[in-house]
Chain A
Amino acid sequence: MRNNGKKNVKSKKPDARELQEASMKTFKRILVAFRGTWKIYRRSLTGVTGLGIVLGFFVIAITAPWTAPYDADFKAPAVDTFIADYATRELPPETNWSLVKGLTSSERARPLERVMIYSSDEGAVISYPVTRGIGEETEEIGIEIGNPTIIELPAHASYLDYTHFYRSFFFVLSANEEGENATSTLYEYDYDFIYLREHEIPFVPLYSSNLWNGFSQLYQEGRLALAFADEHNIWLFNKRPPDITEPGIDGVAFKNSLSFPNATVIGNPLVVDGDFENGSMLIVPTDVGIKAYDLNLTRSLLTKKVINVSIEGLKWESNYTLDGEEFEPLTGQDMMIFQYPYQPTTALGKESIAVATTDGRVVAYDRVTGNVTWQSMPILPGIRDFDIASLHSSPDNMIIVGTTGERGLIVGLDPETGRVGGNNSLFSTVEGYLNSPPQYVIGQYRYVFSTDRGTIYLATHELQINATFSAPGGGAATPVSFLGNIYIEGSRAGNYFGVITEEGSLFVETLTGVNIAPLPPGTYPSGNYYPLGTDYEGHDILTQVMFGTRAELMVGVVAAFFSVVIGTIVGLVAGFYSGLIGELLMRATDVMLSLPYLVIMLLFAAAFGPSLFNIIIIFAILSWAGIARVIRSVTLSTRKRAFVDAAIVAGASEMRLIFRHIGPNVLPYAFLYMTFNISGAIVTEAILAFLGFGDPNAITWGMMLQYLQISGHSLDAPWWLLPPGIAITLLSLAFYLIGRAFDEVVNPRLRRR
């Protein structure tokens, strides 16, 4: 006892030299052991090859940001991946252009006539006439951009839209002053940007409704409706065409106000108008419930023209409860939609309005009665948590825009049932969040939208991503805007979209081109050289493979490390305490070993959710059993050796025996199985990813192959199929070879006879 005490006192105060010496000694010992191991190891040609390959991959992983031909999130520009007509225009510099809009003619087919861009800061508008012609850049029949005209509009417009109504109108909403009693003005312009008149709104709107422009079959007249709201007020604007008895007037406007002192408006209101007298409505989402008001139209007895529009009493009100349980509605501009703005219908009772909730549900109400027609929690295969950002409508579907993890999400719901259309297949996820609604491309059955990463997507009507574009020079500064169609011959049309690029120019391109990605290896019009080609989104394959090395090595090494740690501890304990504890641990090991590995792993992956971290955990949980068994038998045999007995006699504690005396002797085995497990983890990650349980936010070889499979190019893009698979095989093989060579070091019996 006393001796021990002395020792402790002494060892508590080692001077620097002693410490250094001790560490040098340990270092030397490790060096000697390492040299000895290396001497045997290097005899194995395959082992050295494996080590070389692994080192090579490590170098690639570390240097990828500098040596890879492109950035990790690089995408080939549209010039390379998309063959289509396009045009660009340099814009006056130092102006912050905020909006692109296509103005279509009032002709029946609504061809695109003008493209206007607007600067919110300066109120400037540039309007380019566009026609069918020979494109300057492409020298083929396509869009021809004429000489621009410059127009002044109010600056800082919070609402800017136009429609064809009797004469074409432009509406611009602009706040007048700041402060408590601020008002705003709705300006009316005609199609040639000629100022017509203005209307004062007694507040500054936060929300704006849909712009209703419906035509009544019964009365053969059109009518316009538009509403604005702030937190407690609604301002409703209605308009009808003039009568012959009202010469010189280009439309009759009716203005109504409504205030909610006890409720707060939380989203865009909806207006419905038309020839169903009792169906004209104003629907307002507030924090206490949805309020639906009847619009009362008074008609002249003589001419049957509407002579007054007024907001009547509450038609129905629905608070946010379902089956007695309250739910929380989403707040924000596009939380509520009306279902058929594309085809206003007189089929009263068939239409419904939908509201999104914060827990990812959509609730649909009957427009006439306010009863819930359906409510649904969309279920998407492979996607767990998602948040709804907004709702939109299209001819076929009710479209949810949202986010899942770090990715944007669009989902198409069947408007009749609220289920995800196409048997839960109508959805897509994209990198970055959507910054534009999915805009329906007339005549194409497709949608175009863009994300905050500046990428433009074209999706089929089944919401599968069909093509991706990027504006020249890298990205788009504005959300994409579908402009309209230019008719080339007969009904053949070019469907043009427009954006302002980051370099400050207008870029328009047709969506009716051909997406030729995935690109085979080669040099492309942008001057870029893709050594191994690209995938369907235009990512350079070589870059992806190089960056994928990082995740792959990380997952392999970390997952294997944890599984080995668990296995070693279980094995040590089971070997050391061979009684009940050991027996129990070994039974648990047997259970783990008799699991159908891959099948159970998929279940775990589904339960844990897709991320690299979860894959690591799942692998560690399910892959320790083999090691535990080996470590246990080594522990059992080590325990019987003389030095352990000596340690027991010297009074070493059990912990000390396990970790200090037996532990080091099982370490080589632990290391050996770690190399095998790394190779297993790499293949496992690939398999999980391929089956749709991989991390969508990470670049891994497995995900590359998963994208290959789900994009439908697995049979026609060998340059995309081969590299990730070869990389997986090589890296997994390399670790396996290291393991085999190291096996010969640990088990001398295996050395060549």
Chain B
Amino acid sequence: MAGMSRYVAVRSIQTFITLLVILTLIFIMFEALPAQPQDLLQTTPGMQPSQIEYMTRLYGYDQPVSKRYLNYMFNMLTFEFGISFSQAEPVWDILSDRIPRTILLFGGATILAYIVGIYLGALIAWRRGGILDGGSVVISLVFYNMPSFWIGLIFLVIFASELNWFPLTGWYDPTDNLPYVVDVLWHVSLPMIVLLLLSLAGTVLLMRTAMLDVIGENYMVTAKAIGLPERKVLFKHGARNAMLPVVTSFIIAFVFSIGGAVVLENVFSFPGMGALYIDALYELDFPVAMATLYIITLLVLLGNFAADLIYGYLDPRVRI
């Protein structure tokens, strides 16, 4: 593994610098928001000027921008997110409930999408030119270009509102009289199906392309020529080799799908990170909004980093 450790070091430094740049960008954008949390203090009823002063000092808004920037960077990098403005709770307590939910929903959907997508992609590449191929490609393209919230709404109308198969909103409802895990799964399933369909589109197209590349290879012809059953050629010889680029894209697909949480969680009123982020942005709850944004950014960066390492490990040319 010559050069691997150097490669890891270089990539780590690059990732860290990228993180610093993005954090700075986030800070600037929050500073540029037309409404600032200090405005909230002014509107709070019964606030004495001394209290306002105290709160301003507590949250550090009396300090110059440069000092605040350094504090912010330090706090973010040490995961000291402070206390939420709107809920008077440590931001970590709020986040620690939400992060697993979002990861369960989006991680689950991405894994399912990959399992189904690889199988389907391989199959339609194998029977390319047929109705199955054309149909799947068209359907995948349509889903690929569909606004996620819209298909979410349609599923809500059909499966939750009309057919009543799934609950309309939320994460857990104690009045359902179901065991906790079952009830949570029941609540998660509809958004997960929608997410699955949406991410399936990309996976199927990716796998199909990868498979088409493989099908022309000599060993495939050989495998067919020696009379192996078609299933075996397709899955053991073909799909297994075509899977490589698809599987390595899994981590990136997963972390990027989390970015879409802001939209889909909003539609399903799913109490995850994305919904939290939007609410915090509306309520000017800066500590929560910043922390959520930071966690999502960190997930994306770490995902990219991990994907780079895997590529680097598998393909030595990347390391140069």
Residues of A within 8 A of B (CB): 46, 323, 374-379, 381-382, 384-385, 414, 416-420, 424, 587, 590-591, 594-600, 602-604, 606-607, 609, 679, 683, 686-687, 690-692, 702, 705, 709, 714-716, 718, 721-722, 724-725, 728-729, 732-733, 736-737, 753
Contacts and interface: CB of A to CB of B under 8 A. Distances in A.
Contacts of A596: 255-256, 258-259, 293, 296-297, 299-300
Nearest to A702: B147
Contact of B18 (A384, A594, A722): A594
Contacts of B156: 714-715
Given A384-B35, A606-B281, A599 B147 contact: no
Nearest to B30: A603
Tell me whether chain A's interface is mostly helix, strand or loop, or mixed: helix
Pick from A419, A420, A715 the residue with the most CB of B within 10 Å: A715
B249 to A, nearest CB: 14
Nearest to A323: B49
A683 B258 contact: no
Contacts of B146: 725, 728-729, 732
Given A599-B277, A602-B277, 19 more contacts: A46-B141, A375-B42, A377-B42, A379-B40, A379-B43, A414-B45, A417-B46, A594-B22, A603-B289, A607-B29, A683-B147, A690-B149, A714-B156, A718-B157, A721-B153, A722-B154, A724-B150, A725-B154, A729-B145
A687 B149 contact: yes
B262 A691 contact: yes
Contact of B297 (A378, A595, A687, A737): A595
Contact of A603 (B39, B43, B49, B293): B293
B235 to A, nearest CB: 22
A52 to B, nearest CB: 15
B131 interface: no
A600 B28 CA distance: 12
B309 to A, nearest CB: 15
B259 A609 contact: no
A686 B147 contact: yes
B45 A417 contact: yes
A441 B303 CA distance: 58
21 contacts: A378-B43, A379-B39, A420-B43, A587-B17, A590-B14, A591-B18, A595-B300, A600-B26, A606-B281, A609-B34, A686-B147, A690-B147, A691-B262, A691-B266, A692-B282, A705-B150, A721-B150, A721-B157, A722-B154, A729-B150, A733-B142
Contacts of A595: 22, 297, 300
B130 to A, nearest CB: 14
A114 B178 CA distance: 61
Given A384-B35, A691-B266, A691-B278, A728 B147 contact: yes
Contact of B26 (A597, A603, A609, A715): A603
A451 B40 CA distance: 31
A732 B45 CA distance: 48
Pick from B212, B258, B300 the residue with the most CB of A within 10 Å: B300
B316 interface: no
Contacts of A376: 42-43
B229 interface: no
Interface in B12-35: 14, 17-18, 21-22, 25-26, 29-30, 32-35
Interface of B: 14, 17-18, 21-22, 25-26, 29-30, 32-35, 39-40, 42-46, 49, 138, 141-142, 144-151, 153-154, 156-157, 161, 168, 212, 216, 255-256, 258-260, 262-263, 266, 274, 277-278, 281-284, 289, 293, 296-297, 299-301, 304
A702 B149 CA distance: 10
Contacts of B266: 691
Contacts of B138: 46
A604 B141 CA distance: 29
B43 A687 contact: no
A381 B258 CA distance: 24
A485 to B, nearest CB: 35
A377 B141 contact: no
Given A417-B46, A687-B147, A598 B153 contact: no
A729 B34 contact: no
Contacts of B258: 596
A702 B25 CA distance: 27
B303 to A, nearest CB: 9
A705 B300 CA distance: 29
Contacts of B300: 594-596
B147 A603 contact: no
B29 A728 contact: no
Nearest to A734: B145
A418 B150 contact: no
A594 B281 CA distance: 22
Nearest to A597: B259
B46 A732 contact: no
Contacts of A594: 18, 22, 300-301, 304
Contacts of A602: 262, 277-278, 281
Contacts of A691: 262-263, 266, 278
A401 B18 CA distance: 47
Contact of A599 (B14, B150, B157, B293): B293
A416 to B, nearest CB: 7
A654 B250 CA distance: 42
A724 B216 CA distance: 42
Given A590-B14, A721-B153, A732 B145 contact: yes
A323 B48 CA distance: 12
Nearest to B212: A753
A378 B126 CA distance: 62
Which 3 pairs from chain A and chain B are nearest by CB?
A: A417-B45, A725-B150, A596-B259
Contacts of B43: 376-379, 417-420
B15 to A, nearest CB: 8
B86 to A, nearest CB: 9
Nearest to B44: A419
B20 to A, nearest CB: 10
A532 B145 CA distance: 23
B263 A603 contact: no
B12 to A, nearest CB: 14
B157 A379 contact: no
A382 B43 CA distance: 17
Nearest to B304: A594
Contacts of A323: 49
A586 to B, nearest CB: 11
Contact of A384 (B22, B25, B34, B283): B34
Contacts of B212: 753
Contacts of B256: 596-597
Contact of A736 (B18, B145, B149): B145
Contacts of B259: 596-599
Contacts of A732: 145-146
A377 B260 contact: no
B151 to A, nearest CB: 8
Pick from B147, B262, B300 the residue with the most CB of A within 10 Å: B147
A609 B289 CA distance: 18
Contacts of B301: 594
A598 B259 CA distance: 6
Nearest to B168: A715
Nearest to A376: B43
A599 B32 contact: no
Nearest to B154: A721
B221 to A, nearest CB: 14
Contacts of B147: 683, 686-687, 690, 702, 705, 725, 728-729
Nearest to B158: A718
Nearest to A385: B34
B161 A379 contact: no
B218 to A, nearest CB: 15
Contacts of B297: 595-596, 599
A587 B34 CA distance: 30
Contacts of A607: 29-30, 32-34
B230 to A, nearest CB: 20
B200 to A, nearest CB: 16
